[in-house]
A and B are shown apart, each in its own frame.
Chain A
Amino acid sequence: MSVAILRERDYLIASIQSDLTDAEVLELRDTLSERVGRYRARGIVVDVTALDVIDSFVARSLGSIAVTARLRGAETVIVGIQPDVAIAMVQFDLDLEPLRTALDLDEALTLLDRRTQGDGEDGG
């Protein structure tokens, strides 16, 4: 599939490599949900740099990755949303509330470190 999932410390890092079909998006969602349990991950980073469209379906799926992960004790951070994609998402008027975001992987890991160390105030 066009997503690479790596493990780093307590975290899972999913890098999307190219535009995905809906089926691949759902597969990613399910794989992440399964691996969070298997590895007792405390955080997920989804790198969407390669996505040049995030429509309602993808946004909703990212949201549901985050919600499911939280139920299993893991925080999710989305990184790499491109400027034009961000504009499309807000114009679309989706409910983006569940999505935590960071500029890039480094930033996401810092954010997760802070959150998982308990002082999880402040937002991205």
Chain B
Amino acid sequence: MEDEVRIPITSDADLVPARAEGRALANSLGFSRTDATLIATAISEVARNIVVHAGCGEILMRPQREHDRYGLVIIARDAGPGIRETEAVLERGYTSRAGLGLGLPGARRLMDEFHIVSELGKGTTVTMTKWRFRDELERLRDKRHRRG
């Protein structure tokens, strides 16, 4: 898709553009300021996990436009060590390092959909999506502006 955004993550400095891009994309999809902030915050967490736990990887941001809803899919993937128990990391407090194990469960609460696929020694992919419903009013407004 043409408006997909890809941000390489190699150090903590890359979190800054990742958050900014996520917010910009959310805005362009018509998400509220609050939702854009929730998305940017979740991106920040999964991007930091890449830096801390895998070293490097990338974040893909993929807009999804459907008739009655718009979505933003965030994919964080790396070829790092992988996660042994993908269920357990969604519980608060599960951490393999000095962390508090709040990142993933928190990010999951900020988003609508959240999946982790991981294989030991192969890497990790976290896919999370936020949706925004388009009501009749919005579609009518759209039509009004889409002219000429």
Contact = CB atoms under 8 A, between A and B. Distances in A.
Q: A and B touching (C-beta < 8 Å)?
A: yes
Interface of A: 19-23, 52-57, 60, 82-85, 87-88, 91-94
B12 A94 contact: no
Interface string B37-77: 11011001100100000000000000000000000000000
Which secondary structure dominates chain B's binding surface? helix
6 contacts: A19-B19, A23-B12, A53-B37, A88-B110, A92-B41, A93-B109
Contact of A57 (B20, B36, B48, B105): B48
Contacts of A85: 37
Contacts of A93: 92, 102, 105-106, 109
B34 A19 contact: no
Nearest to A52: B37
B23 A52 contact: yes
Given A19-B20, A21-B15, A84-B37, A92 B48 contact: no
Given A21-B12, A92-B102, A92-B106, A56 B45 contact: yes
Interface centre among B103, B106, B109, B110 (most CB of A within 10 A): B106
Nearest to B20: A19
Interface residues of B, number: 25
B38 A91 contact: yes
Given A87-B34, A92-B102, A93-B106, A21 B41 contact: no
B100 interface: yes
B16 interface: yes
Given A23-B12, A91-B38, A92-B102, 13 more contacts: A21-B15, A52-B19, A52-B40, A55-B44, A56-B102, A56-B103, A83-B34, A84-B33, A84-B34, A92-B110, A93-B92, A93-B102, A93-B109
